[in-house]
Structure 1
Amino acid sequence: MNPDARETWQQAFAPPTTTPVPARVRDLAEGAALEPVWENEIGGLTFRARGVEGVRYIKYGPLNAETSMAVEAERMGWASAYTPVPRVLAVGADDEHEWLVTSGLPGLSAVDPRWTAEPATAVRAIGRGLRALHEALPVDECPFDWTVPARVANAAGRGIVLPPALREPPPIERLVVCHGDACAPNTLVGDDGAWSGHVDLGALGVADRWADIAVAAMSTEWNYGPGWQDALVEAYGISPDRERLAYYQALWNAT
């Protein structure tokens, strides 16, 4: 995400309550009350479904290889054995659209107004939650790759030619299973101010932990204003590494 697009992102986060509900979403909701909670840049929608069986989330959007819901479902299914992530209830597609239904988790997004009003608490939860994710997911058992060569190849497949400087990353400091999109919205925060889970795991894979840390730190600027990057890194439990932060933030913006 372009860091200059904060206003656009905020608009995408909260679609109008009058947003039309696709017929497929109504079928998947099985009579539950629906509330639109997210619209992304390619027209994908996420609805909260409240019914007698609790809260579910229904993602629905155009087929798109870069944001495949089937890919996300596979990664969430793997990660759910080790850390709090949504449970996959259904996934499917037709000729034009795809959908994913997941269980709800306790807590609110770290960019809910409840937490944007308390940025110190939110940033601390994001940093600690990211460290917990990295410690919980076993690198040796992870079948998914998010290393720089994999990302460079993925970008090339989408017609993006990266400058030579971005094709030569700093030496790996520590391999972990990265979230892959560790932006602030994807950490959930409980009533106690502690992280309670992670969502949107479509790019999860093995990489240097700074690939996640850099993006999480950068996203604090978009969501809480300047001055929070170092606080996030410190909440993670390490000191800022300027070279790796700069590299992985530039890679994120370029891809």
Structure 2
Amino acid sequence: MDNRPVISEVPAGPVPVPGVVAALAGGAAVTPVWRNELGGLTFRLDGETTRYVKWVAAGTPEIDLPGEAERLAWAQRWARVPRVLDHGTDAEGAWLVTAAVPGRSAVDPRWQAEPATASAAIGHGLRLLHDALPVDRCPFDWSVERRLARADERVADGEGPADWAPEHRHLDLAEARARLAEPPAIDRLVVCHGDACVPNTLLHDDGRFAAHVDLGTLGLADRWADLAVATWSLEWDYGPGFDGILYDAYEIAPDAERVAYYRLLYDLA
């Protein structure tokens, strides 16, 4: 059974190309490569060079492409992330254009067939990110307090247990919110990726970590905010049994309390 709490995937059928994406492409070939659970689209533009365009319709506040452009520009001084080429907004939506970086997504069929190798690369890449990005120079926040405010907004909009992952649907709103009100002490404050799911790591063909993508919520938080989601997402994309490989590659022992807390926070916020 698929236990993923959200659905992001390679589009299976025809995808209308937004006008701004067609204009940015010029004579380049346009290929839709990803659709996230909120309807945001990513296209590959193949011309003299390869570029990627992320596009989201106006009125989708959960996806902040100008904010992602700012985060990428900051992070690229220390970490392997895509280089921003352009970004903007119009009445129809917002877009972000980045240069291609070497590597394939960890959900590529190549790595679906070798999940142990991919799990190790994801863990190693996450450790590199956490060690490289300077906490004292980071202007972006991904704290529990900020994310709890977002969780409360979603509850006010009518979301509840039916919208959560299967692991959390036995909780009622009051119990879930009470658990989130008591976060564990911070183990190590780092600059977190913010969405360290399997698709957001790129790997070289030899299985080494290549780069991180989709850093729209990058910010300061306990490293377990990333680790909990990274190991959870291994189950969604590869099946159970690979989390130990990721922990070993990161060089950390599992922490059940922090994993449970940050998975619940991710689900609700």
| TM-score, length basis structure 2 | 0.88
Alpha carbons 1:76, 1:87 under 8 Å: kept:
yes
Q: Secondary structure at the match of 1:213?
A: helix
In structure 1, stretches of 5+ residues that fail to align are none
Aligned to 2:109: 113
Equivalent of 1:65 in 51, 61, 67: 61
Q: Secondary structure at the match of 1:239?
A: coil
Alpha carbons 2:148, 2:265 under 8 Å: kept:
no
Aligned to 1:230: 244
Q: CA deviation at 1:154?
A: 2.5
Aligned to 2:170: none
Aligned to 2:77: 81
What amino acid sits opposite 1:37 in the alignment? V
Distance 1:74 1:253 in 2: 25
Alpha carbons 2:141, 2:220 under 8 Å: kept:
yes
Distance 1:26 1:42 in 2: 21
Aligned to 2:34: 38
Segments ≥4 residues shifted beyond 6 Å? none
Q: CA deviation at 1:158?
A: 4.0
Aligned to 1:55: 50
Q: Does 1:172 align with 2:172?
A: no
Alignment of 1:1-255 (within 5 A): 4-5=3-4, 9=7, 12-16=8-12, 18-52=14-48, 54-63=49-58, 64-159=60-155, 163-255=177-269
Q: Secondary structure at the match of 2:129?
A: helix
Alpha carbons 1:130, 1:236 under 8 Å: kept:
yes
Q: CA deviation at 1:204?
A: 0.2
Identity rate, percent: 56
What amino acid sits opposite 1:55 in the alignment? T
In structure 2, stretches of 5+ residues that fail to align are 157-172
Distance 2:109 2:15 in 1: 21
More deviation, 116-125/64-73: 64-73
Q: CA deviation at 1:17?
A: 5.7
Q: Secondary structure at the match of 1:66?
A: coil
| TM-score, length basis structure 1 | 0.93
Distance 2:204 2:9 in 1: 19
Q: Report how many aligned residue pairs link the two structures.
A: 249
| Cα RMSD for the two superposed structures | 1.6
Distance 2:227 2:211 in 1: 17
Q: CA deviation at 1:186?
A: 0.3
What amino acid sits opposite 1:123 in the alignment? S
